[in-house]
Amino acid sequence: MQPSSTTVGDLIADVADRFAAGNLYYGHGTDNAEDEAAWLVFSVAGLSWGAGPAVYREAVSGSDRERIDALAARRIHERRPLAYLLNEAWFAGLKFYVDERVLVPRSPIAELIHERFEPWVRPDSVHRILDLGTGSGCIAIAAATAFDDAKVDAVDISADALAVAAINVDAHELGSRVETIESDLFDALGNSRYDLIIANPPYVDADDMMARAEEFRHEPSLGLASGKDGLDATRRILQQASRFLNDDGILVCEVGNSQPALEAAYPDVPFIWLTFEHGGAGVFVLNKHNLEELCQATASDKTS
């Protein structure tokens, strides 16, 4: 146990050393031991990320040190993502409740939300948004925050995930503009039309599911696995999305490491692959015309 005069900086360094020695895998909000340790210490001690350097010289209370020590031990021995141990995650600068009913938020789409999806849409023309595979509701809520006049449908096949999303919708006081809907992709959406569809479907292929690190085995496989090549859900989205887009609407879809498989499966589709200043890949944009052409080509292939 650390002495009573232990500072925030001391404790972060100690926990980081323990995490590094524990050979942990990162990827649920951080990518290294020091950032993971800082997240743990700041969260338990109730510190603001906006605090200046002086906060690192503040003393940590004995009760907080005990809780940090216990959570650090669980992180190492259980290989459980820290987000689940803390029941918190950060996405697009916003805080969310998470537990093992949902994936831990980590999509690079957060960067697009900050930019209000420019230049792919005119922000003032976005009034209806669909978030497919909402999970914790992080994308839907962040999008509603960025487009403060828009209504957002947050769709997921999992009732458990939607229960978590509802917690976050309430916490962010967005119940009047964000509606959670249980649906297998578009199945329950009737004749709804959207200016922007954001899809973060399952896209992990069978080989990657077998090889994934222990930390990822705590996440619901329903939100990860998508067939042999990782494209089962994406194929359905590509075939159906045009019917739910307004004329100037776009689809933004994340497929992660399944990008090469998607390009091989659809060599004639003009995917626009986005680049990210803060890391991430495998996100494409298509407009309604692109999607209609894809559907027509698929129909022709089936009849030929």
**3-state SS, one letter per residue, for 110-164:** HHHHHCCCCCCCCHHHCCEEEEECCCCCHHHHHHHHHCCCCEEEEEECCHHHHHH
Looking at the structure, tell me whether residues 120 and 159 fall in a common domain.
yes
Residue 158's domain comprises 102-303
3-state secondary structure at position 225: strand
Q: In this structure, are residues 169 and 137 in contact, taking their beta carbons and an 8 Å threshold?
A: yes
Residue position matching structure tokens 């019917």: 243
Question: 0.85 exceeded by the pTM?
Answer: yes
Looking at the structure, tell me whether residues 186 and 143 fall in a common domain.
yes
Looking at the structure, tell me whether residues 148 and 295 fall in a common domain.
yes
Q: For the chain, what is the domain count?
A: 2
pLDDT digits (tens, 9 = 90+) for 131-163: 999 999 999 999 999 999 999 999 999 999 999
Looking at the structure, tell me whether residues 209 and 291 fall in a common domain.
yes
Does 32 reside within a domain?
yes
> Rounded distance, CA 37 to CA 42, Å?
9
Looking at the structure, tell me whether residues 73 and 107 fall in a common domain.
no
Looking at the structure, tell me whether residues 45 and 70 fall in a common domain.
yes
Looking at the structure, tell me whether residues 198 and 256 fall in a common domain.
yes
Q: What is the length of the chain?
A: 304
Looking at the structure, tell me whether residues 218 and 71 fall in a common domain.
no
Does 96 reside within a domain?
no
In degrees and rounded to multiples of 5, residue 45 shows phi and psi of -80, -5
Looking at the structure, tell me whether residues 138 and 80 fall in a common domain.
no
Looking at the structure, tell me whether residues 269 and 121 fall in a common domain.
yes
Does 176 reside within a domain?
yes
Residue 68, pLDDT > 90, answer: yes
Residues 6+ apart with CB under 8 A from 244: 130, 186, 189, 192, 193, 194, 197
CATH number at residue 204: 3.40.50.150
Q: Tell which of 33, 51, 86 closes a domain.
A: 86
Tell me the DSSP string of 230-299.
S-HHHHHHHHHGGGGEEEEEEEEEE-GGGHHHHHHH-TTS--EE---TTS---EEEEEHHHHHHHHHHHH
Longest dimension (CA), the chain: 77
Q: What is the pLDDT of residue 271?
A: 97
Q: Tell which of 86, 113, 130 closes a domain.
A: 86
Other C-beta atoms lying within 10 Å of the C-beta of residue 123: 14
Q: Specify burial of residue 216 (Cβ count, 10 A radius: 0-12, 13-18, 19+).
A: buried
Query: What whole-number percentage of the chain has pLDDT above 70?
Result: 97
Q: What is the pLDDT of residue 209?
A: 95
Does 180 reside within a domain?
yes
Does 112 reside within a domain?
yes
Does 296 reside within a domain?
yes
In this structure, is the dihedral angle defined by the CA atoms of residues 144, 177, 140 and 95, taken in order, positive or negative? positive
Does 2 reside within a domain?
no
Average pLDDT rounded to a whole number, residues 20-26: 95
pLDDT digits (tens, 9 = 90+) for 207-257: 999 999 999 999 999 999 999 999 999 999 999 999 999 999 999 999 999
Enter the tokens of residue 158: 């999992």
Does 94 reside within a domain?
no
Looking at the structure, tell me whether residues 121 and 56 fall in a common domain.
no
Q: Tell which of 29, 57, 86 closes a domain.
A: 86
Q: Alpha carbon of 150 to those of 105, 135, 172: distances in Å?
A: 22, 20, 15
Looking at the structure, tell me whether residues 205 and 249 fall in a common domain.
yes
